[in-house]
Amino acid sequence: MKPTLAFDVYGTLIDTQGVLDTLLQMMGEDAFAFSAAWRDKQLEYSFRRGLMDQYQDFSVCTRDALEFTCQSQQKHLSRIQKLALLEAYKTLPAFDDAPPALAALQQSGYPLFAFSNGSRAAVDQLLSAAGIIDSFQAIVSCEDVKSFKPNPKVYQHFLQTAQVDAQQAWLISSNPFDVIGAVAVNMKAAWVQRSQSQVFDPWDVSPTMTLESLHQLTHIES
């Protein structure tokens, strides 16, 4: 029996740096540092809200992180510009390897799920815009348990929703914190190292598999 594959969305299937085109029009070369800082703060806010049991939709983390980044980077964007950035975040592009890799895995009979911090509605819109929504049996959102990755509850929620044992489930993610969270509940996990400069956290935890591309998932086994 083929293992069930849970795909992280933001940063794994979907390129969060896809917002750069809009940012470049607004601030030129400063867009690169701004985009990275925005993404880092977005994740930080999700971690903090998860720890504090102060859940808000992931889009709130995204919006608040944008406000913080504007202040910290001293970029005075108008309300219309901020709304344009938040709208761009709803239709970010897929990485080039995502559509063909998902199609190959689906054709080979792997059960595929999208598993995300984002709300189900937001992820549905994102994957639909990227043209990959039909690859998945379902979207499993952390909103159902009112927390965020890497809270163990969200991985247990995935396993219950997908009706699969941890040892028969793989998380596919480019985010080390996500990989570590999955391994902590006995799932297997593939870390997609999207950049050679990306470093895995030096904890006493290792990914089950490290990939440079989603194409390398073709022969993944339980």
Catalytic residues: 8
- What gap in Å lies between CA 50 and CA 158, rounded to an integer? 17
Q: Name which of 197, 199, 200, 58 is nearest 189 in CA terms.
A: 200
Query: 190 with 210: CB under 8 angstroms?
Result: yes
CA distances from 221 to 17, 38, 47, 191, 208 (A): 31, 36, 31, 15, 11
E-only strand ranges, 96-196: 112-116, 138-141, 169-173, 188-192
- What gap in Å lies between CA 119 and CA 163, rounded to an integer? 20
Query: 207 with 200: CB under 8 angstroms?
Result: yes
Q: Name which of 87, 142, 150, 147 is nearest 115 in CA terms.
A: 142
Query: 6 with 113: CB under 8 angstroms?
Result: yes
- What gap in Å lies between CA 62 and CA 155, rounded to an integer? 22
| DSSP structural state of residue 92 | P
